[in-house]
Structure 1
């Protein structure tokens, strides 16, 4: 282990009810732990079991230095250690001089493929995942450790630079908003088995009943740095465009994966491989969708995103790729 910031993740299961799970590193309790449901584990273990997934990040450099470069990770339930693993920290002494690259991973835009292409170079590239939707993980990290990170990658929004002292460069990939919302609906309903989405008989009904930020001009919201609970307005569209012009080094297109990847390869200075990952499979319900009716329903929810996407497409083709 050689990176100064490490994300640990796993799951715990309880019989008869969920118990409090705590994560410790060298005796220090993790301050920010993200929890998620694990219905797959519960189904495998049988009736009566409750399972939760957990993930947390530690700024391990100082802790390792204080403990002879040794790291002891513990998972505790009711203050009892139920799992323990030991590591040794080697340390990364070179500091990245360039601006921190922040990749906003928009769902269902090929972001997983890009992340995996970058992870192929993890021996020389330090990626810090940020998928909990807020900046809690960043706030707990030291400046010296942040300076050693090459890329922050995750489902997050514009504004991360306000929490660190280092210069940054944003980038992302967008997809036609109609296809984005449609793909998200099918993925959430049939792959993630989202409880709310499963109650909807169609994408039109889901848009009417299910409240989630992805169904309300998500691109504009994320790039403008707007909180999930606030309404998106035309002013936020102007803010998003301004942010792209001033703080984004590149915005790729999901419809042009090879051209986008070629540009990312130039930005990162790495030969990134093209791969397709986390693709929503063919769903029977798709065969019964009226495209015109579905797009009409979607249009009301992506009015601003359509304008932002059109702006990005023009910017993409005016940019030299290669």
Structure 2
């Protein structure tokens, strides 16, 4: 996926002093930044929870791209079926393969590539649902001497309010099938 040239230029300018480049970035950023020595780290969230959070975030924040549509009555089911955003359609698998094309929504080769990228390029993959344990394991993986208590921020205050009907649940599973399989694979391999 393309990065904005001005952002890439700014990050490249700061690379000599940087130890970490972080954020919600697509796999392949190392090519844009022309990095030879790199390691990826990721924290995966359960795909259904991630999409519910995405929808809720857009509903709560007026500056988001789908706020007006949701406030105008667009349901989660309508958002999923309209395919107005790839963020509700196997988004994590896309991030891990740098594939943005919505027409690839059920390409098992994309899943295989995501898993291969994790195996080859990631020194660590943690789980948001096991955040404290993941951070401890990350520290062990990276040889950190201290353990830090990580605060929980950006928590969805409406998480407990999500009531999903059977049709919406089925659509969530359909449009995130690859992400669910990816998450299952990663969580099976997760251990302390």
Shorter-normalised TM range: 0.7 to 0.9
Structure that is richer in helix per residue: 2
Alpha-carbon offset, residue 190 of structure 1? 2.2
Aligned length: 183
Alpha-carbon offset, residue 196 of structure 1? 2.6
Structure that is richer in strand per residue: 1
Give the gaps of 5 or more residues in structure 2.
Answer: none
Residue among 217, 230, 240 paired with 2:114: 240
Q: 1:148 to 1:186 in 2, by over 3 A?
A: same
Distance 2:164 2:11 in 1: 49
Q: How large is the RMSD of aligned CA atoms in angstroms?
A: 2.5
TM-score, normalised to structure 1's length? 0.51
Alpha-carbon offset, residue 245 of structure 1? 0.3
* DSSP 3-state at the match of 1:181: helix
Distance 1:255 1:190 in 2: 22
Distance 1:260 1:139 in 2: 32
Comparing 186-195 with 153-162, which one deviates more in the overlay?
A: 186-195
Alpha-carbon offset, residue 280 of structure 1? 1.1
Alpha-carbon offset, residue 271 of structure 1? 2.9
* DSSP 3-state at the match of 2:22: strand
Contact 2:27–2:96 under 8 Å retained in 1:
yes
Corresponding residue number in structure 2 for 1:261: 135
Alpha-carbon offset, residue 141 of structure 1? 5.3
Alpha-carbon offset, residue 191 of structure 1? 3.2
* Greater relative contact order (Cα < 8 A, sep 6+): 2
Corresponding residue number in structure 1 for 2:80: 207
TM-score, normalised to structure 2's length? 0.83
Q: 1:188 to 1:162 in 2, by over 3 A?
A: same
Contact 1:134–1:156 under 8 Å retained in 2:
no
Larger radius of gyration, structure 1 or 2? 1
Contact 1:135–1:160 under 8 Å retained in 2:
no
Distance 1:206 1:135 in 2: 26
